[in-house]
Amino acid sequence: MRIDQAQVWGLQAPLIQPFRTALGEHKTLDNLLFVLRLADGTKGYGEAAIAPHITGETIAISRYNLKAVGRWLLGKDSRDYWAISGVLHERWSSNPATIAAVETALFDAIARQRGLPLWRLFGSRCRKLQTDITIVIADLDETKETVRRFYGQGFRQFKVKIGQDPDLDIQRVVAVRQLAPLGIIYLDANQGFEVITMLKFLKALRVLKIRPALLEQPIHHADIEGLKRIVRSTDVPVCADESVRSLSDAVTVIRARAASVISIKLMKFGLVQALVIARMAKAAGVKLMISGMLESALAMTASAHLAAGLGIFSFIDLDTPFFVRGPGGRPAFLSPQGVYDLRAVQRGIGVVPRIQGSRDNNAF
C-alpha cells in the first residue's frame, strides 16, 4: 500500500455552452488531474476543479501545490489516509481543490487495490441517484432552448442560476415552469442577492404561484445572520453552499440554524472532511445536497459514489458532465436522463481519464 509515484497532468475540455453563475463563468473545463501509484502498480485518480472566481484558486498555484504534495506522499502508506488528510488541511488549506484531488486519488487507489467499487467504502448498498440539471445564467431565448433540450431528454429537476438581473431572473424561472410543467425548480443565487431583494424575489414568485423546492446560497457567504433571517421568513428550504467551505463553517451554520440544507462539495474540503460534515449534518437534522464545481466525469462520479454509499443525501446536483464535450463528459453509468447507477462499477471510481502528456507535466 506504499505510494511510490505521483503525477500531475492538465485536464481540459470544451463545453456545450458557457457555464455562467452570478459569480462568473467558465468557457472551458480547465482542471488538473492527480495520479498516484502504489508499490504494486495500482493507480488512483483525482481531479482538482479550479474556480478562481469562487475560491481564488488558480491553475498555477494548484499545479505547484499538487507537485509538492506528490513529493511529500512518496513512501507514505495509503492506509494512513486520516493522518494524510490532517497534514493536507494543515499545509494546503488555502487550496482545497488540491486536497480534493489528492484524497480522491488516494481513496480510488485503495478501492482499486482491494477490488471494490468506491461506494463500498462508504456503505453496504449502492443507491441510484437522479441528478438535477443546471440552467445557467443566460438571456431568455437561450434559457428556453436549454430547458426544452433537457426536458425533452428526460430531466425533471432544474437548478436555475439567478443573481445578476432579478427581473430577467423572474422571466427565466417563469419560462422553466411553462416549458417544464412537471419539473421541480431549485434556485441558486451564488450570493447574488441581499436579504431584502431575495425576500421580494420569493414574494414575486408566490404571486405567480411558483414555489421553488430549494433556495441555494441567496446572499453573501459571511452573512450568517442574513441567512437565518431568510430561513425564518420562508417555507422554502434554504441551502448553505459558499457559507460552508470548511468543517468549522459547517459547525457554525448548524449551531446557528442558518440553513436547512448544506451543500457538500469535494472541492471545498476534500473527501475525508466531506464524509465528516455529511454525518454531522445528518445527526443534527440538517438535510444534504451533493454537488460540485465545474468537474469532469472523474470528480463528479467520485461524489456520486459518496452519495450512493452513504444514502443520506436529499438533493443530487452532479450534472456538469452533461456540459463537457468529449471524454470527460457523461460516463456509461450516467444515463441521458441523469441517473447514476454505479452498481456496474467493479473497482474504484470506475473512470480512468485519458492522459495526454507534455514536457511540463512530469512525475516526481
Per-residue pLDDT of 10-23, as tens digits, reads: 999 999 998 989 88
Same domain, 232 and 339: yes
In tens, the pLDDT along 234-255 reads 999 999 999 999 999 999 999 9
In tens, the pLDDT along 137-153 reads 999 999 999 999 999 99
pLDDT at residue 83, as a whole number? 96
Predicted structure pTM score: 0.95
pLDDT band of 53, cuts 50, 70, 90 = confident
Same domain, 216 and 325: yes
CATH of the domain at 156: 3.20.20.120
pLDDT of residue 363 exceeding 70, the answer is no
Q: Which three cell numbers stand for residue 127?
A: 443507491
- C-beta of residue 91 within 8 angstroms of C-beta of residue 34: no
Same domain, 225 and 327: yes
pLDDT of residue 361 exceeding 70, the answer is no
CATH of the domain at 12: 3.30.390.10
- Give dist(CA 128, CA 345) in Å, integer: 13
pLDDT at residue 55, as a whole number? 82
Same domain, 79 and 144: no
Whether residue 357 lies inside any domain: the answer is no
Same domain, 197 and 93: no
Whether residue 363 lies inside any domain: the answer is no
Whether residue 352 lies inside any domain: the answer is no
pLDDT at residue 356, as a whole number? 60
Same domain, 334 and 268: yes
In tens, the pLDDT along 320-345 reads 999 999 888 999 999 999 999 999 99
Same domain, 92 and 137: no
Same domain, 109 and 132: no
**Share of residues in the chain with pLDDT > 90 (%):** 92
Whether residue 326 lies inside any domain: the answer is yes
In tens, the pLDDT along 151-183 reads 999 999 999 999 999 999 999 999 999 999 999
Mean pLDDT of the chain: 95
- Give dist(CA 143, CA 25) in Å, integer: 16
- Give dist(CA 252, CA 247) in Å, integer: 9
Q: In sequence order, which ranges of the chain are alpha helices (DSSP H)?
A: 52-55, 59-73, 81-91, 96-114, 140-153, 166-179, 195-207, 224-233, 247-256, 266-283, 297-310
pLDDT of residue 360 exceeding 70, the answer is no
pLDDT at residue 336, as a whole number? 97
pLDDT at residue 57, as a whole number? 93
Domain that residue 30 falls in: 3-115
Neighbouring-strand partners of residue 33: 9, 47
- C-beta of residue 293 within 8 angstroms of C-beta of residue 105: no
Number of domain units in the chain: 2
Residues 205-234: what's their mean pLDDT? 98
Give the domain-ending residue among 76, 92, 115: 115
In tens, the pLDDT along 250-281 reads 999 999 999 999 999 999 999 999 999 999 99
Strands 238-240 and 184-188: unpaired
Whether residue 355 lies inside any domain: the answer is no
pLDDT of residue 224 exceeding 90, the answer is yes
Same domain, 306 and 197: yes
Give the domain-ending residue among 47, 80, 115: 115
Whether residue 224 lies inside any domain: the answer is yes
Whether residue 266 lies inside any domain: the answer is yes
In tens, the pLDDT along 202-218 reads 999 999 999 999 999 99
**Share of residues in the chain with pLDDT > 70 (%):** 98
Same domain, 86 and 135: no
Nearest to 272, CA basis, from 130, 94, 21, 80: 80
Whether residue 299 lies inside any domain: the answer is yes
Same domain, 145 and 270: yes
Give the domain-ending residue among 84, 115, 146: 115
Same domain, 150 and 294: yes
pLDDT of residue 359 exceeding 80, the answer is no
